[in-house]
Amino acid sequence: MQSVDPGIRSESVCFPFTPSQTARELLFYPTWCGHYYCTANYFMKRDSYPPLLIAYIRKGRFRVEYHGEFHVAEAGDVLLLDCIEPHYYHAEDGLEFVYMHFEGSNARELCRRITDRHGWLIRRDNNMLIGNLLYDMVRFYDENGVETDMQRSARIYRMFDLLLSPSAAEQSADTPVEQAIQYIRSHIGQPISVEELASTVCLSASYFAHMFKRRTGFSPADYVINSRIERAKVLLVRTQKPIAEIAEEVGYSTSGSLINLFVKKVGTSPRQYRIQHMSKAIDAVCKTDVPFIDTDVPEL
């Protein structure tokens, strides 16, 4: 099928899809895919369009306005747009790209997770693999291929897997983040600042914070807090230490500081958490053939 949009050259192809009700309810599903060769007359401006868009630039340049930002996508770049939001893109002469519009259960949320991590203009080592998947999909349908809803959905999942998986370069670049995580674990009972963490891996605080959040999904400060809370959970269940002592061991000068954060993060107080999880442990032991021997009740 040929597109009738202005600026699309005659060798371009595109294919519409009509998903089943099952696909609409349960799967990711494509609504269009295509391979476009463009002149400078090609553009698209919409206030809203329900499907999401993933595109790989094979040649040329693509000017895109989205989320209040303007970028020029070039060969090797991937675009991931939630088209339900206003968007405008405009080709430069000689643009060639492959694309797919898609929808599905939680597709929008997963798209947001990816763009929060990488942005909507994605430049990563494994972009070419995504481009290959899109190109193969278009070629398959151009050759009159037929596949099931599940097979079409699997194509989209493979692309998301590549978008969510760290590339080789990112795995190498993550080394400072892993070092910082180890530092947090070994200094959990001490004050830890972003500047201190950045210094341990010889990076500026701002660059380190950006790298850390991109890798873990948390700011360094939030990661430290979560690590302290997780350590406190272990100590509450596995030891009889009083809460004040646990607070000090995980880096808080007062039990009140730990209690306030614990309630905020976990939804219950340290004392209640200890009681609930000790009860579960006792129940588990009582269901076995090993008799339960009472011990001293820990200080709460």
Per-residue pLDDT of the chain (300 residues; tens, 9 = 90+): 656 688 999 999 999 999 999 999 999 999 999 999 999 999 999 999 999 999 999 999 999 999 889 999 999 999 999 999 999 999 999 999 999 999 998 899 999 989 988 899 998 888 999 999 999 999 999 999 999 999 999 999 999 999 988 665 555 555 788 889 989 999 999 999 999 999 988 889 998 998 888 888 889 999 999 999 999 999 998 899 999 999 999 999 999 999 999 999 899 999 999 998 876 555 544 544 444 334 343 443
pLDDT for position 89: 97
Q: Which residues pair with 65 in a beta bridge?
A: 70, 88
> Which helix or strand (DSSP H or E) is residue 36 part of?
strand 28-37
pLDDT for position 283: 55
pLDDT for position 118: 87
pLDDT for position 292: 39
pLDDT for position 255: 93
Q: Which residues contact 280 (CB under 8 A, 6 or more apart)?
A: none
Report all structural domains of the chain as residue ranges with CATH numbers, in order of start. 13-169 (2.60.120.280), 174-286 (1.10.10.60)
Q: Which residues pair with 170 in a beta bridge?
A: none
Phi, psi values for residue 45, rounded to 5°: -135, 120
Say what the pTM is. 0.59
State the sign of the Cα–Cα–Cα–Cα dihedral 129, 131, 133, 139: negative
Neighbours of 224 (CB within 10 A): 21
Q: How far apart are CA 8 and CA 43, in angstroms?
A: 9
pLDDT for position 278: 74
Q: Which residues pair with 99 in a beta bridge?
A: 34, 55
State the sign of the Cα–Cα–Cα–Cα dihedral 170, 175, 176, 181: positive
Helices and strands counted in the chain (H then E): 12, 10
Query: Which pairs from 217-221 meet CB under 8 Å and 24+ separation?
Result: 217/117, 220/180, 220/194, 221/194
pLDDT for position 164: 86
